[in-house]
Amino acid sequence: MASISKRSRDKGKKNKPYWIEYVDADGGRAFAKGFTDKGLTEQLAAKLENEVLLRKRGMIDPAEERLLAIRQSPTADHLAAFERSMDNTTPKHRKLTMTRVRRLVEGCGFATVGEMDAEAVEECLKAIRRDEDLGARTYNHYLQAIDEFGKWLVATKRLPANPVAGIERLNSETDIRHKRRALTPEEVSRLVQSARDSGRVIQSYDGELRARAYLTSFFTGLRRQELGSLTPRSFRLDDQQPILKVAAACSKHRREDTLPIHPELAIMVREWVQNLGPDDLLFPRIERKKTWLMVKLDLERISIPYETHEGIADFHAAGRHSHITGLLRNGATLVEARELARHADVRMTMKYTHIGLDDQAAALAGLPLPNASKTSWPGIGRVSGGASGQELSAAGSNDDDEEGPENEKTPSGEGVSSFPGVASQELAFDASYGGGGNCTRVPRSVCEGFYVRSRSFDCRPGGSGRQDPLRLSSS
C-alpha cells in the first residue's frame, strides 16, 4: 500500500507537493513526486501501484517502458551524448556535424527524440535551402549529419528505428558550386618557380616554403591537415623504398598511413630537413592558412588563370586533384590510384580524375588494329546509298579475278577502285574497326575487288611528350 505525505520541512505549506512512497516490482522502495492536491496525489499513487502489479504479472514489457521513457526525454541530453561519442573523429568533422544536427533539431522544434520526424526534417531543410541558396552537396551534408545522429540513436538502443531515414538525397552532379580542375605537370612546375621567384610572403609563408608545400602536395596527394602534421620523423629516407607515415590523429580515416615517396621528392626532403629538429613541422599550421590565396596569387603572377570553365585551381586542386589525375595519365590503374589516394570507394577516386578530350584521344590512339581477314570486316566499305561492299562486288563481277589486284597497283585511281559498278559512287567506311597505334593505316583492300581511299592516323607524340589528338592525313 502506497503512503502519501509531505516532507517534514513542507508540512503546513499548501503550495508544496505531496510525495508518494511505494514498493516497485523488484521489491525496493520507490518515491514519486505528487501534486499539491491530496486527491490527485492519491489517484497517482493508485496508478503507480497498478503498474507495479501489471509488471509483476508480466503484462507490461520493461523494454518498451524503457523506450517510452527515452522517447519522452529531452533531445539536448542525447545530442550531448552523441557529441561525446565522436571523440575519435577529427575536430572539424565533429564541429560540422554537431552544428548541422543542432540547427535542424532547433529548426524543427524537436524537444524530445520521440518528436523526431523525417518529413519535418525535409521541410525544414528545404526552407533553409530556399532562404540561403544551399547547394545540392551542402543539402546532402545536412541530411548525412542528421542521419548519422538517427543511426546512433538506434545503435545505442535509444530508439528502435532511425526516425529520419528515407529522406531522398539530391543529385550533386547537377549543381556543382565548387568545381575544381587539375593542373598539368608543366603548370605545377611553373607554379613552383613562380613562388620561388616572387620574393613575397603570403599567409606568413615565404616563396620557398610555398614551393615546398606545392611540391609535397603534388607528389604525395596529402590533404592540408596531413601536410601540417609532417615532421622529419614522418620520413624514412634511408630505406630501399623511401616512405612517409601519416599519423592516425591527422589522417582523415583515423588510422596510420604509410605511403611510398617519389624518388625526386625524397632527394628534396633530405635537403629540407637538414636544419630542422626531429619534431619540427615542415609546414607549420598550413591547415589554418588561406592556401587558396597562395596558389591564386602565384598563378596570376605567371598569367595562368585561377578559374576557367573547367573549374578553379586552388591548393587542393593543384595538389591532390593533380596528383591523382597524373597517376592515371601515366599508366596507373584505377585501383592503384585509389590505394595511393587512400579512398574507401573507387567512385570517390573517380571524382578526383580530370580526363579531358586530349586524354581520351590519346587512349583511343593506342587501340590496336584487329588482325582480321578481308572478308570478316563487317560495316567497312559501305556505299553511301546503303548497300554493302560485298553486295556491290558480287553485282559488278565480270568473272575476271585478276582485275582487282591490277587496280590496287594502279596509281591513277589514288587507291580507289576503278570497278565499273562503284567507280562513280561516293564511298564511306566505318573506322571503328581500324585505327590504333602510331600512323596505323586503314587497309585499302576491304573485300574482293573493292577498295577504299587509304587514310593514316597520325598520333605520334607532340613536342611536350604527350600525344596530340587524332589527325587524319591523306596518303
pLDDT in tens, the chain (475 residues): 788 889 888 888 888 999 999 888 788 888 899 999 989 999 999 998 888 888 777 777 777 777 778 888 999 999 999 999 998 888 888 999 999 999 999 999 999 999 999 999 999 999 999 999 888 889 999 999 999 999 999 999 999 899 999 999 988 777 777 889 999 999 999 999 999 999 999 999 999 999 999 999 999 999 999 999 999 999 999 999 999 999 887 777 777 889 999 999 999 999 999 999 999 999 999 999 999 999 999 999 999 999 998 899 999 999 999 999 999 988 889 899 999 989 988 888 888 888 777 777 877 887 887 775 555 555 544 444 444 444 434 444 444 444 444 444 444 444 444 434 443 344 344 444 444 444 444 444 444 443 444 344 344 444 444 444 333 333 3
At 164, which amino acid appears? Answer: V
Domain with CATH 1.10.150 in the chain: 75-174
Q: 436-461: buried (b, 16+ CB within 10 Å) or exposed (e) per residue?
A: eeeebebbebbbebbbbeebebebee
Q: For residue 143, give the nearest of 164, 115, 112 by alpha carbon.
A: 164
Question: 3-class SS at 245?
Answer: strand
pLDDT at 400: 44
CB distance 155 to 146 below 8 Å:
no
Q: Phi then psi for 427, rounded to 5 degrees?
A: -110, 150
C-alpha cell at 73: 526525454
At 185, which amino acid appears? Answer: P
CB distance 78 to 102 below 8 Å:
no
Cβ count near 467 (within 10 Å): 19
On the CB side of 262, how many CA atoms lie within 13 Å of its CA? 13
H runs (alpha helix) in 133-259: 136-155, 185-198, 207-220, 224-228
C-alpha cell at 422: 562503284
Does an H or E element contain 301, and which?
A: helix 291-301
pLDDT at 433: 43
Domain with CATH 1.10.443.10 in the chain: 185-355
Cβ count near 335 (within 10 Å): 10
For residues 372, 378, 382, 385, the Cα torsion angle rounded to the nearest 10 degrees is 170
C-alpha cell at 180: 575544381
C-alpha cell at 238: 634511408
* Radius of gyration of the CA atoms of the chain, in A: 37
Look up cell 581511299; give the residue: 453
Q: For residue 112, give the nearest of 163, 167, 152, 166 by alpha carbon.
A: 163
The fourth-level CATH superfamily of domain 185-355 is Intergrase catalytic core (1.10.443.10)
Question: 3-class SS at 402?
Answer: coil
- Tell me the CATH number for domain 75-174: 1.10.150
DSSP 113: G
For residues 149, 152, 158, 161, the Cα torsion angle rounded to the nearest 10 degrees is 80
At 283, which amino acid appears? Answer: F
pLDDT at 296: 96
